[in-house]
Amino acid sequence: MYRPDHATHTASTAHHDDRVQFLVVADETSLAELEAELALLPLCARGRVFVEVEDEGDVAPIAAPIRMTVTWLPRSRRSGRPGTAGRCGRGEAALRAVRAWTTEMLCDGPGRTRAIVLGSWPVVTEIREHLAEVVGMTPESIVEPARG
């Protein structure tokens, strides 16, 4: 049923959401750290989790706040760099996913987005550079937990 009062309200009202959203990125070298970081997030946390792994056999259930979407990225199902016949290298699937998500979800800038980046050097380095240099996130908003 069409409700003109709702359409008018929606068209004329700015919908600003100032809640923090989270972007969490990991690979198969940091699954235990990933679970620990997700457990530390508030139950009402919202955002996206990307986990890059070698193949589908590495995908496992993982507990995340209910408003967090978890996406597994098996490299064995992805191609390498465009224009090559190569396989997807370590960190490539996660970086592509982060680029696409930030382009779509952070088109007006990073806002109050916080990133948690875990994993091997290629994952952490390239994603951190993208978030800081392209997206414009501050160093304080990008967390790289220390590995012990």
Ranking 77-86, 87-96, 111-120 by mean pLDDT, the lowest is 77-86
Report whether 113 contacts 141 (CB < 8 A): yes
Closest CA to 95 of 68, 110, 111, 115: 115
Where does 18-143 sit in CATH, by number? Answer: 3.40.50.80
Interval 73-83 mean pLDDT: 77
Place of tokens 């908003």: 141
Q: Are 75 and 55 in contact (CB under 8 A)?
A: yes
pTM greater than the 0.85 cutoff? no
- Determine the pLDDT at residue 147: 56
- C-alpha distances in Å from residue 50, one per residue of 2, 10, 53, 107: 38, 32, 10, 19
Phi and psi torsions of 139, nearest 5°? -55, -35
CB environment 65-80: b (16+ within 10 A), e (fewer): beebebebbbbeeeee
Q: How confident is the model at residue 123 (pLDDT cuts 50, 70, 90)?
A: confident
- Which pLDDT score, from 0 to 100, does residue 85 have? 63
Q: What's the token pair of residue 24? A: 């969490």
User: HSE (CB half, 13 Å, CA atoms) of 109?
Assistant: 5
